[in-house]
Structure 1
Amino acid sequence: MTLKAQTGGHAEPSAVPVPLPDRTRDTAEPGREPASEPETGSTPFQKPKLRLKIQDLDHPGAAKFLSSVNASTVLSTAVNNVLRLLYKSPSDQHTTVPPTRSVTLILRDMGGVAYTTGVAHLNPQLTPPPSITKKTDLDNDHKEIHFSLNYINSIAPATRLTHEITGVLTHELVHCYQWDADGTCPGGLIEGVADWVRLGCDLSPPHWKRETGGAWDRGYQHTAYFLQYLEQRFGEGTVRRLNDKLRRHKYEREVFWPELLGESVEKLYGDYVEKEKDGEKGCRVAVVGR
């Protein structure tokens, strides 16, 4: 995962878990298969063993992390949020979650922001997205999230520490639980799903914007906002169905999207771009009319 580095700031104690926000169900388009909703009161998902490893307690980023979040609470809540957004229910016959027996969060002195190891279903013939790597000392049921102490130390202002740390961890935990069509899914879509979950948890950082220039699958927040549009247009559970399709089939762009949503991804993205342009025009008209 790659984010723009920020500088300065001192931590203020805060350990606030981030629950999923209440959302009203969006209406699917006529003629589309209705998207599924999570079941209430169903059997909870099996949780992994959660571990924390800090490689340098003297690093200022370690102190900021420990004073900003309760590691057990923030990881447990993030796991709940990821599973609830990507899967319907453990009791649903179509729910198949990638095996994840443990997740170890490793805070260490390194460049970048964060990356995840132990993603077994990555195709060794393809280059993984930048925030995922296969290398781990354990079998692939055990995941590791490596989080940069340098990045944590750079988060500013200090009031953003809890929000940003939780957002990064939520993004990386998605990589522990999402499917990628046996390694054939574009890296931009993988990263877009991770940031879509982050969006759904109200954890977007202030620099994120709905930018429609460039390809639909350039990843991260750019693809996340496109996925959010699809979720609103075709109904709640659309991205969940996308994730499940990536479990069951290899990714072939010309087939994948028409089977899932009845249109090519190029047409869908074009509709999204036009909608955003219309929204911008409406804002300009409103401002001029004041």
Structure 2
Amino acid sequence: MTFYEQTPVPRPITILEPPISRPSDAPSATQSPIPIHPPRDTTPNDPKRTTISSPKPFPLPTLRLENRNLNHPASALLFTSINPATVLPDCLQNVLRLLYHTPSSHSFTPPPTRSVTLIFRDMDGVAYTTGTDLDHDHKEIHFNLNHISNVASRPNSPTRVRDEIIGVITHELVHCYQWDAKHTCPGGLIEGIADWVRLNCDLSPPHWKKEVDGAWDRGYQHTAYFLQYLEDIFGNSTIRHLNDHLRHHKYHQDSFWEEQFGLGVEELYEGYVQHHKEEERKNKKKQDDL
């Protein structure tokens, strides 16, 4: 079965309109359940609010929580900011919905993750995901308590702390459930997919912006915006299909992108760069006309 057997893939023109990680500052979020976009479903009472609309939830692994320093000042702040018993399952449902189809679909073929343990402790960096000593099917997400304290010391901290925690958790959960081309996928694409999920959960932080003056595989939000461009051009489920392709095949840059999009990644990225510059030009003209 080819990558786009059911839907022929259009070839983009020059300008087109329309997982161990240590993420940088994490995103802002909304109240649980965490909305996702797309698809965007509205409720009668609030047309701007987005909700999870799957007919039934995805099966979840065993979820565990561990705090290795209850005396840390961030510990009290952590548990007054979120309820892990609801936030962790909500985040994981969104991750699965964006990376896969429905729970009953034949294409629901995630990695065999049997448990996820969220561990808050003192360490360097922000967070990372790893397998356990038992086996790689049991995942651990390590989250730095000091980072929570640092966020709390910034302006607007009452709203940012909860948003930061949920954003980091979402990013790291992607690493528990994404495919990696049999351990050959470049790190920039791995991290880009994780931030693409974060972006489509409406969890992008205020400091994120599209920057096109570097390589496509810088990872994190830089690659996430490029992946969103591909999703916009080639249609919904593009990144789902890409993730599924990473399940079946080792990564070879010359063939990986050609097989799925009919173009090499550098040509695709050049289309994204030109599209972004055209959007900037239009926005500047609008500002000048005001």
Give the conservation status (yes or no) of the 8 Å contact 1:15–1:69: no
Per the alignment, residue 223 of structure 1 pairs with 223
Q: Distance in 2 between matches of 1:253 and 1:19?
A: 34
Deviation at 1:24, TM superposition (A): 5.8
1:20 aligns with 2:33: no
Give the conservation status (yes or no) of the 8 Å contact 2:195–2:220: yes
Deviation at 1:47, TM superposition (A): 0.5
Counterpart AA for 2:34 = V
Q: Distance in 1 between matches of 2:40 and 2:133?
A: 43
Q: Distance in 2 between matches of 1:61 and 1:40?
A: 35
State TM-score, norm by structure 2. 0.83
Q: Distance in 2 between matches of 1:60 and 1:254?
A: 50
Give the conservation status (yes or no) of the 8 Å contact 1:21–1:201: yes
Describe how 1:79-90 pairs up with structure 2 within 5 A: 79-90=92-103
Deviation at 1:90, TM superposition (A): 2.9
Give the conservation status (yes or no) of the 8 Å contact 1:39–1:89: no
Distance 1:180 1:195, change over 3 A: same
Counterpart AA for 1:190 = I
Gaps of 5+ in 2: 1-20, 42-51
Query: 3-state SS of the aligned residue for 2:64?
Result: strand
Q: Distance in 1 between matches of 2:24 and 2:247?
A: 31
Query: 3-state SS of the aligned residue for 2:66?
Result: strand
Distance 1:164 1:184, change over 3 A: same
Q: Deviations over 1:19-52 (max 9, x none)?
A: 3245369xxxxxxxxxxxx9953x6422111111
Query: 3-state SS of the aligned residue for 2:207?
Result: coil
Deviation at 1:265, TM superposition (A): 0.6
State TM-score, norm by structure 1. 0.83
60, 65, 68: which is aligned to 1:55?
A: 68
1:277 aligns with 2:277: yes
- Between the two proteins, the alignment pairs up a number of residues equal to 253
Q: Distance in 1 between matches of 2:63 and 2:218?
A: 31
Query: 3-state SS of the aligned residue for 1:247?
Result: helix
Gaps of 5+ in 1: 7-13, 26-37, 119-135
Describe how 1:138-157 pairs up with structure 2 within 5 A: 138-155=134-151, 156=154, 157=157
Counterpart AA for 2:259 = E
Per the alignment, residue 15 of structure 2 pairs with none
Deviation at 1:92, TM superposition (A): 2.0
The root-mean-square deviation of aligned C-alpha atoms, in Å, is: 2.1
